[in-house]
């Protein structure tokens, strides 16, 4: 069993900690923060509480997201290279002394540090031509593969180049998959494409909002950009 008690997370979000895999260089372990699941559950409306706490577990959501039809079909066709072109490779759940964690590829910069997020890049250089090309390439991949995501947020996208690649690209490290209703409707190709294009438009809206004066809340900007 993997013990992470002596490690400090190299990154932490609201719902998970990310650790370097102690035995496998180039991989990371995502561990849920149970206290945050409890807090989120307490804030739920009574009707949503009936759905249970499992739906708030980001690791379970991530496992389910990697089982979506578009991912399964790409693997069935042997198109692994296309599948992982903008996703870190996913190896599934592993048991640790601190609970179950999801194991995936660790994307790094040229110095071996965790890859820079698009959010960090935008803060340094703005939405320049390089960033625009990175986003366009990601958008093209999404429409080509039909892979469903939640809202594409700059802090969930990292800029990295694998050892066998000459070009840097955007990788979605969190937010894969979609809520239940979009998943059910996505069996219709036209609706699936509509859903994906809406996520792409919302990413551009988010970038504009992050680089703007933020007088509007993100919720307001999101509604205005629909």
pTM confidence score? 0.91
Q: What are phi and psi of 209, to 5 degrees?
A: -65, -45
pLDDT of residue 165: 76
pLDDT in tens, the chain (226 residues): 899 998 999 998 888 999 999 999 999 999 998 777 677 767 777 767 666 776 678 999 999 999 999 999 999 999 999 999 999 999 999 999 999 999 999 999 888 889 999 999 999 999 999 999 999 999 999 999 999 999 999 999 999 999 877 789 999 999 999 998 999 999 999 999 999 999 999 999 999 999 998 888 988 888 776 6
pLDDT of residue 226: 64
pLDDT of residue 51: 67
99-105 and 90-96 strand pairing: antiparallel
Write a three-state SS string for 85-98. Answer: CCCCCEEEEEEECC
pLDDT of residue 38: 73
The β-bridge partners of 170 are 159
Identify the CA nearest to 59 among candidates 84, 36, 85.
36
pLDDT of residue 138: 98
pLDDT of residue 206: 96
């Amino acid at each position: 069993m993997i013990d992470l008690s002596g490690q400090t997370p190299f990154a932490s979000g609201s719902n998970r900690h990310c650790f370097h895999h102690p035995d496998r260089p180039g991989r990371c372990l995502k561990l849920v923060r149970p206290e945050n699941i409890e807090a989120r559950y307490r804030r739920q409306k009574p009707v949503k509480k009936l759905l249970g706490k499992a739906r708030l577990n980001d690791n379970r959501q991530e496992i389910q997201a990697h089982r979506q039809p578009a991912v399964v079909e790409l693997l069935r066709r042997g198109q692994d290279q296309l599948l992982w072109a903008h996703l870190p490779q996913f190896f599934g759940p592993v048991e640790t002394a601190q609970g179950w964690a999801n194991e995936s590829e660790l994307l790094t910069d040229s110095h071996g540090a965790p890859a820079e997020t698009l959010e960090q890049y935008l803060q340094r250089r703005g939405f320049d031509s390089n960033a625009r090309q990175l986003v366009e390439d990601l958008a093209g991949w999404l429409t080509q593969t039909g892979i469903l995501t939640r809202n594409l947020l700059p802090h969930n996208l990292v800029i990295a180049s694998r050892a066998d690649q000459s070009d840097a690209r955007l990788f979605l490290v969190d937010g894969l998959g979609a809520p239940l209703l979009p998943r059910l409707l996505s069996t219709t190709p036209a609706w699936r494409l509509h859903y994906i294009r809406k996520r792409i438009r919302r990413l551009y809206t988010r970038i504009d909002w992050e680089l703007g004066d933020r007088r509007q809340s993100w919720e307001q900007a999101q509604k205005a950009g629909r």
